[in-house]
Structure 1
Amino acid sequence: MNYAVIETGGKQYRVSAGDTLEIERLPVEAGQSTTFDRVLFVNQEGRILVGTPTVANAAVVAEVVAHKRGEKKIIWKMKRRKGYHKLQGHRQELTVVKIKDIKV
């Protein structure tokens, strides 16, 4: 099974061709393709390539499926005995991508 480990948005993801994943928002329109060139690791039919820190000339091609927002996270701050409390919510901007190909 061919797979790669890519880095985007400060996070690392293990991806294979055909996978769909949600990543940090990319400035690419839905329906267009994008290329991830920060490939840290590639396993291609048992041939393993480990980057230092990235694998040279390796890229992962993906198609942007949609843009969406994640579920709401609640932030609650409070200081005891002071009467201070603050409620805040956050929804992360996400991009859904479908992995097309792993190029080495």
Structure 2
Amino acid sequence: MFAIVETGGKQFRVEEGLQFKAPKMEAEVGAEIALDRVLLVQGESGLKVGQPLVEGAVVRCQVVDHGRDKKIIVFKKKRRKGYSKKQGHRQDFTLVKVTGIEAAL
């Protein structure tokens, strides 16, 4: 069984036992969270696509860790103008482990 969930403005394909990096969430390490913005659920009995969300579907997760991703370089340049600008940033993330998918198919 898998589901597609939306969190932090991004969509993720999740399965039970899978760990993924979501944009930073305000939750303590070890806390249980419920992702209720489920866009699609697929199980043994079929596929359920939400319009836009699947009614009553919830993905249960546990927060494993918080961290910062690798540095991303942003380089801007205008040719023949003598303009160039180099910036970098590191995105905060929350490492989340999926513990269960609840949906009525």
Structure 1's consecutive aligned runs of 4 or more residues displaced over 3 angstroms after TM superposition are none
Q: Deviations over 1:49-71 (max 9, x none)?
A: 11110000110000000001111
Instruction: List alignment gaps of at least 5 residues for structure 2.
Output: none
Q: Deviations over 1:39-93 (max 9, x none)?
A: 0111121322111100001100000000011110111112222222211001111
Instruction: List alignment gaps of at least 5 residues for structure 1.
Output: none
| TM-score, scaled to structure 1 | 0.93
Partner of 1:64: 63
Partner of 1:9: 8
Partner of 1:43: 42
Bigger drift between 7-16 and 76-85 goes to 76-85
- 1:37 CA displacement: 0.3
Bigger drift between 76-85 and 59-68 goes to 76-85
Bigger drift between 52-61 and 6-15 goes to 6-15
Q: RMSD in angstroms over aligned alpha carbons?
A: 1.0
Give the total of aligned pairs.
103
Aligned equivalents of 1:4, 1:53: Cα separation in 2? 14
Q: Percent identity?
A: 46
Aligned equivalents of 1:78, 1:40: Cα separation in 2? 39
Partner of 1:79: 78
| TM-score, scaled to structure 2 | 0.92
